[in-house]
Amino acid sequence: MEKCVAEGIPRDMFDGQAKIGEILGRLRSANASGFAIGLHLQFAAPRYLFQAYAPDWTEFYSRNGYLLRDPVVRWSVANVGAIRWSDLERPTDDPVMPAAAAHGLRYGFALSIMLDGSHSVGAFARPDREANEEEIEAAKRDLAELHRLTAGLTQLTPGLHAALKRLSIDLTRR
């Protein structure tokens, strides 16, 4: 298999990682308030987690322990499909969605897919309006492609890490 001289990795793996960066860049452009994508959930924890929310929201969310109380996360782990945040069932004392709106995540949708026995999820946000059906379908195609591209991936190159940082996308590898 041909190797990329600069990276020392197989060309097809390099091309796949370049495609990951392209998809994440497209999703970043389409979702002005950011997104979080968890790929290949194992025991409810993703193998890869890509986040492009503002740091103040990410820090506030973590500090307040919202992960286990988040209706978007709950829906995504328990379902397959797509749902707008405005259609989620939420407890009356839900602190997560009002806090998200106060941080500019006013409108959004969740995606949850199951492909080849592996589960991946995503939450996508914007400050100005609901996403239309075409935008949701485009994000669903992108999520499925990210799922496929990372299925056998063991590590991301330093170059892709740097590119993700430039897009303000954080990566957590579990």
Helix (H) or strand (E) run with residue 150 in it: helix 133-150
Asked if 143 and 122 count as a contact pair (C-beta separation under 8 A), the reply is: yes
Tell me what pLDDT residue 66 has.
97
Query: Tens digits of per-residue pLDDT, 58-116?
Result: 999 999 999 989 999 999 999 999 999 999 999 889 999 999 999 999 999 999 999 99
Asked if 53 and 36 count as a contact pair (C-beta separation under 8 A), the reply is: yes
Domain boundaries, the chain: 3-173
Number of C-alpha atoms within 13 angstroms, CB side, residue 98?
A: 6
Structure tokens at 45: 């924890």
Tell me what pLDDT residue 18 has.
81
Q: Which residue has the higher pLDDT, 70 or 163?
A: 70
Out of 3.30.450.80, 3.40.50.300, 3.20.20.30, 3.30.1370.100, which CATH number does the structure's domain 3-173 have? 3.30.450.80
Query: Tens digits of per-residue pLDDT, 1-10?
Result: 333 334 444 4
For residue 16, CA distances in Å to 10, 12, 140 come to 10, 6, 18
Question: In 93-132, where does DSSP find H-type helix?
Answer: 96-102
